[in-house]
Structure 1
Amino acid sequence: MKKNSYFIICFYVCLNGFSQNVGIGTITPNINAILDIYSENQGFLPTRSVLVQTILPNPLSQHSPAMITYNTFESQTYTPVSVHDGLYYNDGAQWNMAGPNAIMFGDIKHSLATTDHNGWYLLDGRSIALLPTTAQSNAISIGLSGNLINMDDSFIKTKTPTDNMGNITGSNQIVLTQAHLPNVNFSGITALAGNHHHEYSDQYSPIQSLGLATNVLALLPIINVNVGRPENLTATLFSSTSSGDHSHTVNVNSGGLDVPIEATPKHIVTNVFIYLGE
């Protein structure tokens, strides 16, 4: 106990006794640091606290800019103000997670969240002018202008040399054309049937006429008289003239309706956010 008290007193005296900087574990502290802690086999262990929500100062009495602590509490549900296990810093208005992964402007993430949160903005096609001033500047700095990208019903794809960053292209439907078929030849010719003819039946109802001529009235034309009109005659079978050994070409319609193929694979539905800072 005396040893710890002695260390605290010495540390306090050192901080107040030097106008420049203080070194712990080194006699040559960095001239740009008010406190330089050096060790080759130990690390700096910050305070461990239980945060409640990012917007609440707890366990502090109020938000304090630059305050750092390691949060040990994990929220049971995900909301824009949830906290998770990790290092947090306070910006004077809320707690912000400092790790474990660094976040850069323009980073993209999928999330089940539905609204903007902690510097992440929903890619819903809105005008950049509607964003906070800082987010507007950061959006322009990474090449965005006019509107945010609208990621509705879209997948993320990596860039090719000819792609423009941030463009939405492609379709969730595929339309097959003849050019998409294999490059092979298909014939539609029937098998040979030798020297043959074709038969067909015909049924008709003829009108038979009787022509009468007279010597009395030589100038009169021949008189045609209908003498019979059969009501029902049996069909007669006829044969065409033989055409030699030949084949026939057959055309068959596919019956297709040119309906596009739905190409969207099985997937999970999320929202896509971009980090533009706060």
Structure 2
Amino acid sequence: MKTTLTVVLASVLSSYVSGQVGINTANPITSLDIVAKRTDGSTAEGILPPRLSGDEIKAGDAQYVNSHAGTIVYATAPVNVASNKTANLTSSGLYYFDGNVWQKMMPGDPRKFNVQTAGDIKNSVQDTDHNGWYLLNGRSISSLPAAAQNSASGLGFTSILPDATDRILKTRVGAELLGSEGGSNHISITRSNLPDINLIGIVSGTAESAGSHAHTADEGGYLVGGTSVGNNGSGHYQGTAVASSWGGVGMLNKTSTTGAHTHSLSGVATIPTGGQGMKLDNRSAYLVVNTFIYLGE
């Protein structure tokens, strides 16, 4: 009781004298100076922050605003259903509030464990810029903060960031420019892409007829000359240049019968495939994420 009272009095007195608070010391050298009570290992020394479960920390979301940046708590368990502020509470440990979300405290500078360099690419289910990472969505370079603009310019982006929307990432080949876009999600089949096969179709008609036969005329008859059929005896039809002069003279309704012979047949058979000219989707099964580039904080 005596020791505790002495510490409290010393803390209050020192705060009045120098505006600084000391615990276990009458001469604090910082805003809050805590000196170990004992150094022989007979007591547990240190600072013990508030201990709360992830769900208990989440319950106080409304209480933590930007002015609470720097607040430290110890999460005894991860949050079950995360909110925006507790999205990083995935395991027990020390966390600090950065003014927007709770961040896990790591041993040392986290950037030494996860080094980022301007131009690094990552995929994430986050949907906004964060911690120096900028969404690759084709936006204007001028819309970025000044430091990010400088980094983008140093990477060769002069007007816009690349747009990674609905695209996969590929490794550069030859003289391809880094950050350039190309390719398509769909394939159009051309004739040269089809397999080298014959499509089988049916051509209707008689190409060959054996034996003696005659040919009938589709239009009612054949106009012939040099015959004795209905002419004036001279072997040639001589009309009077009027329509009535034809009157069937020099007209036969079928050719004369001749010997066995064949007929040449040529033509193009059109065989529809039944297709609709639809494009093929060139994408494999996928997981939708966003793509970010690191341009620095």
**TM-score normalised according to structure 2 size:** 0.50
Could you tell me which residue of structure 1 aligns to residue 39 of structure 2? 6
For 1:204 and 1:245, the matched residues in 2 are separated by: 20
1:102 correspondence with 2:128: no
The one-letter code matched in structure 2 to 1:160 is V
The answer on whether the counterparts of 2:201 and 2:271 sit within 8 Å (CA) in structure 1 is: no
The one-letter code matched in structure 2 to 1:265 is S
For 1:224 and 1:125, the matched residues in 2 are separated by: 81
Sequence identity (%): 25
> Which structure shows the bigger proportion of residues in strand conformation?
1
The one-letter code matched in structure 2 to 1:119 is G
Could you tell me which residue of structure 2 aligns to residue 84 of structure 1? 89
1:273 correspondence with 2:285: no
For 2:95 and 2:147, the matched residues in 1 are separated by: 19
The one-letter code matched in structure 1 to 2:289 is T
For 1:246 and 1:178, the matched residues in 2 are separated by: 30
For 2:191 and 2:163, the matched residues in 1 are separated by: 33
Q: 1:171 Cα deviation (Å)?
A: 0.6
For 1:176 and 1:257, the matched residues in 2 are separated by: 12
1:252 correspondence with 2:270: yes
Matches within 5 A, 1:1-278: 5-7=38-40, 62-64=68-70, 73-74=78-79, 76-77=81-82, 79=84, 82-85=87-90, 98=110, 102-104=114-116, 105-182=118-195, 184=196, 186=198, 196=210, 202-205=217-220, 250-255=268-273, 258-278=277-297
Q: 1:174 Cα deviation (Å)?
A: 1.0
For 1:170 and 1:240, the matched residues in 2 are separated by: 67
Stretches of structure 1 lacking an aligned partner (at least 5 in a row): 9-45, 213-220, 230-234
The one-letter code matched in structure 2 to 1:252 is T
The answer on whether the counterparts of 2:152 and 2:158 sit within 8 Å (CA) in structure 1 is: yes
| Secondary structure of residue in 2 paired with 1:149 | coil
Q: 1:122 Cα deviation (Å)?
A: 1.6
| Secondary structure of residue in 2 paired with 1:138 | helix
For 2:242 and 2:95, the matched residues in 1 are separated by: 122
For 1:225 and 1:274, the matched residues in 2 are separated by: 94
Stretches of structure 2 lacking an aligned partner (at least 5 in a row): 1-35, 42-47, 105-109, 222-229, 233-239
Q: 1:47 Cα deviation (Å)?
A: 8.3
For 1:153 and 1:75, the matched residues in 2 are separated by: 32
> Which structure shows the bigger proportion of residues in helix conformation?
2
Q: 1:168 Cα deviation (Å)?
A: 1.1
Q: Which moved more, 1:75-84 or 1:140-149?
A: 75-84
For 1:6 and 1:196, the matched residues in 2 are separated by: 123
The answer on whether the counterparts of 1:106 and 1:276 sit within 8 Å (CA) in structure 2 is: yes
The answer on whether the counterparts of 1:189 and 1:249 sit within 8 Å (CA) in structure 2 is: no
For 1:124 and 1:113, the matched residues in 2 are separated by: 13
For 1:96 and 1:159, the matched residues in 2 are separated by: 36
Q: 1:138 Cα deviation (Å)?
A: 2.7
Q: 1:116 Cα deviation (Å)?
A: 1.9
Q: Which moved more, 1:89-98 or 1:268-277?
A: 89-98
The aligned length equals: 223
For 1:70 and 1:106, the matched residues in 2 are separated by: 35
Q: 1:90 Cα deviation (Å)?
A: 6.6
Could you tell me which residue of structure 1 aligns to residue 235 of structure 2? none
Name the CA shift for 1:248/1:7 in 2 (closer, same or farther; >3 Å).
Answer: farther
Name the CA shift for 1:162/1:205 in 2 (closer, same or farther; >3 Å).
Answer: same
